[in-house]
A = this chain, B = another copy of it.
């Protein structure tokens, strides 16, 4: 590759700020578990480019990476930059695939500016969809809802689909896809405003606020008079416990997340579920979205079409300012978001 100097060097930043993991959290992360550091931006070498972060993704899975345990992915080590999806603009490029001004999606983590060799970067067309959607409805959370519901649960028209964490980036999409497929969609969320959004703008058939509902099983029986055929689980814990007595025979459970459990040092005792799975001949399956990576183009195309047709709506909760990244992650773990949680960097 030839060396290509591009952009206006005079305006280029020389220092970037990053958040590194300072301490492994015990329970809910604290802001002091992160450390904001300033690092010099190295001069570009052949094939590299410099990106300015516009939106940084905040996702519940990040909590898992802060533990010192390998699960499906390596943990972030102490002193390392926090991982995460990002959207940014190319400021300078010595890579023929990218030009200054290009908007790109990548996984450069909690950084104001990033130097990349272009691997894993995807150019976005802002005329097709707002760039931030590549982190939400047209990104990992949207794909999680799409494949996690359609492939794992395989909902059929007329069936009842219950979604927990229904007002989040994943759940809000999963419930709408259930509706598109002709199912009854019932959401569980943590706030009356969220419930109103689900049953109003998003067209869920019913929803309830788990924070103000005493008896989840009774409420589910009321809202799912024909029982539950599919359960799309983002939360685990007491909400999920209540699903089992309402399951129909041959029910399918897609385990997308367990956000209520991420701040526990060890799995907590819960009512046994295998007896229910046995007598209901039901299936529960965990998945990670990366197992569907080859089919993302299919999912993104379908979701983009549904958005154009007005069948699929989304919302973003945007926190302003890079320095608020830790606060935003704590917020998403506490359910402060409606739809996709993002940090915008001006």
Determine the distance from Cα of A274 to Cα of B256 in the docked complex, in whole angstroms: 10
Contact with B along A269-295 (1 / 0, CB 8 A): 111111111111111111110010000
Contact of A291 among B255, B261, B281 (CB under 8 A): B281
Q: List 9 A-B contacts (CB under 8 A).
A: A257-B278, A258-B278, A261-B274, A267-B271, A267-B272, A269-B269, A269-B270, A281-B285, A282-B285
Nearest Cβ distance between residue A75 and chain B, in whole angstroms? 12
A338 at the interface (CB under 8 A from B): no
Are A261 and B257 in contact (CB-based, < 8 A)?
A: no
Q: Is A284's CB under 8 angstroms from B283's CB?
A: yes
Contact A236 B277, beta carbon cutoff 8 Å:
no
CA distance A237 to B280 in the complex (A): 18
A59 contacts partner chain B, Cβ-Cβ < 8 Å: no
Q: Are B285 and A236 touching (Cβ within 8 A)?
A: no
Interface residues on A, range: 35 or more
In the bound complex, residues from chain B placing their C-beta under 8 Å from that of A275 are 236, 258, 261, 267
A10 contact set on B, CB distance < 8 A: none
Majority secondary structure, A binding face: mixed
A209 at the interface (CB under 8 A from B): no
Look across to chain B and name the residue whose beta carbon is closest to the beta carbon of A249: B72
Q: A283 and B285: CB pair below 8 A? A: yes
CB distance from A20 to the nearest CB of B (A): 24
Contact B284 A277 (CB under 8 A): yes
In A229-260, which residues have CB < 8 Å from any B CB? 233, 236-237, 240, 249, 255-258
Give the interface of A toward B (CB within 8 A): 64, 71-72, 233, 236-237, 240, 249, 255-258, 261, 267-288, 291
Shortest A292–chain B CB gap in Å is 11
Give the residue name and chain of the B residue nearest to A69 (CB).
B279
Q: How far is the CB of A100 from chain B (nearest CB, A)?
A: 40
A191 vs chain B, min Cβ distance (A): 23
The CA of A77 and the CA of B272, in the complex, are separated in Å by 27
**Would you call A277 and B267 a contact (CB within 8 A)?**
no
- CA gap between A281 and B268 in the complex, in Å: 20
B271→A281 contact, CB < 8 A: no
CA of A258 to CA of B276, assembled, Å: 10
Chain B residues positioned under 8 Å from A269 (CB to CB): 269-272
B286 touches A279 (CB 8 A): yes
| B residues near A288, Cβ cutoff 8 Å | 278, 281
Asked if A72 and B277 sit within 8 Å, CB to CB, the answer is no
Is A272 within 8 A of B72, CB to CB? no
Assembly CA distance A279 to B263 (angstroms) = 15
Complex Cα gap A258–B288 (Å): 28
A314 to chain B, nearest CB (A): 24
CB pair A279 B233 closer than 8 Å: no
Query: With A236-B275, A267-B271, A282-B285 given, can you name 4 additional A-B contacts, CB distance below 8 Å?
Result: A72-B249, A257-B278, A269-B270, A276-B286
Query: A277 and B271 in contact (CB under 8 A), knowing A72-B249, A249-B72?
Result: no
